[in-house]
Amino acid sequence: MQTYLKGRDLIGDLDFTKEEVETILDVAFDLKRKRALGEEHAYLRDKVLAMLFFFSSTRTRGSFEAGMAQLGGHAAFIESRTTQISHGDTETEMGEIFGRYFDGIAIRHVDWGIGNRYLNLVAEASRVPVLNMQCEYYHPHQCLADLMTIMEKKGRDLRGRKIVVSWAYASSYLKPISVPQSLILQMPRFGLDVTLAHPKEFELMPEIMEQAREQAEKHKTSFEVVDDMQDAVEGADVVYAKSWGPLLTTRDQDEGKKIQDQYKDWIADQKLMSLAKDDAIYMHPLPADRDIEVTSEVLDGPQSVVFDEAENRLHAQKAVMALTM
């Protein structure tokens, strides 16, 4: 167990070593137990977290706010458009000033080519830890909750288990690529064999793909990429099917929508799940486009763990905050 993570930023999934992630998970499971038993765990009494949002949220805001309250502290919800950011406050000002007002800074900023850079510049100027609530490249806290959920359902020893990270069609908007990128980086470190499935226009960042291959090689797991959803799911233990935009093909929303609409048959339905193992679980970070991206039969069915997954956002994030703040 790595016992000193105070002051550390969590921006990218590989910012923490495998051993440090294991520490976070150990603490998360303990905090979940304490929450269930009603045991007080006010480890962050009188601490305050700034939550700066450039992108709307349901689970992220709710879980961070509730988590800080349960840890004895307070979370301040701040929408970027209600600040002076558009009138001159740079990343340096935000890091310097919020770093003096608060005990931690959490930021959600998914604008392509802007969000991750913004987080890192704030972190450079801040004297307190900066936590990534999602940028255009990474969604590390979602991935920690995902890993925690898989361990609850499949055990702590995941070697030899197969996870499929698949693109699925959604009609709502062109979603960020940060969730699949975080998954392919983190899951090989814990023994999972990863299969990534997507149409050709929905590639992930080359540097992230290379890092995923390096992690798979280092931890002696497999990492493969296929262009057929059904072939990918064959024999899977975990089916993680969600949409993301063709952002490396085009940034134009209309053009991206045209490309996306070519693949309406990429849906997580019961026929797809029947190709996986009988005890396979279905995962999604939510919100999902019901009966478009995933059928209600699957989303509400016995193989779905999406609500346990959403709950674990709370416990995993509490662990990160308690350890870093």
> Which three-class secondary structure string do you get for 123-163?
HHHCCCCEEEEEECCCCHHHHHHHHHHHHHHHCCCCCCCEE
Average pLDDT over residues 159-185: 96
Cα–Cα distance measured from residue 215 to residue 212, given in angstroms and rounded to the nearest whole number: 5
Average pLDDT over residues 78-89: 91
Q: Which CATH superfamily is domain 13-139+313-324 in?
A: Aspartate/ornithine carbamoyltransferase (3.40.50.1370)
Find the angle CA(85)-CA(13)-CA(167) to the nearest 5 degrees. Answer: 95
Alpha-helical segments (H) within the chain: 18-37, 59-70, 91-101, 115-125, 140-154, 178-186, 206-218, 229-233, 253-260, 270-273, 296-299, 306-324
CATH 3.40.50.1370 domain span(s) along the chain = 13-139+313-324, 141-310
pLDDT of residue 1: 84
Could you please state the CATH topology (level 3) that the domain comprising 141-310 is classified under.
Rossmann fold (3.40.50)
Cα–Cα distance measured from residue 307 to residue 295, given in angstroms and rounded to the nearest whole number: 16
Token pair 């137990």 in the structure block, residue: 33
Of 245, 247, 241, nearest to 285 by C-alpha is 241
Residues ≥6 apart with Cβ < 8 Å to 88: none
pLDDT of residue 86: 86
Residues 238-289: pLDDT tens digits?
A: 999 999 999 999 999 999 999 999 999 999 999 999 999 999 999 999 999 9
CB atoms within 10 A of CB 321: 26
- Residue 76: helix, strand or coil by DSSP? strand
Q: Is the pLDDT of residue 56 over 90?
A: no
Average pLDDT value for the chain: 97
Token pair 């029947």 in the structure block, residue: 274
CB atoms within 10 A of CB 265: 9
Residue type, 257: K
- Residue 238: helix, strand or coil by DSSP? strand
Cα–Cα distance measured from residue 315 to residue 144, given in angstroms and rounded to the nearest whole number: 10
Average pLDDT over residues 124-136: 98
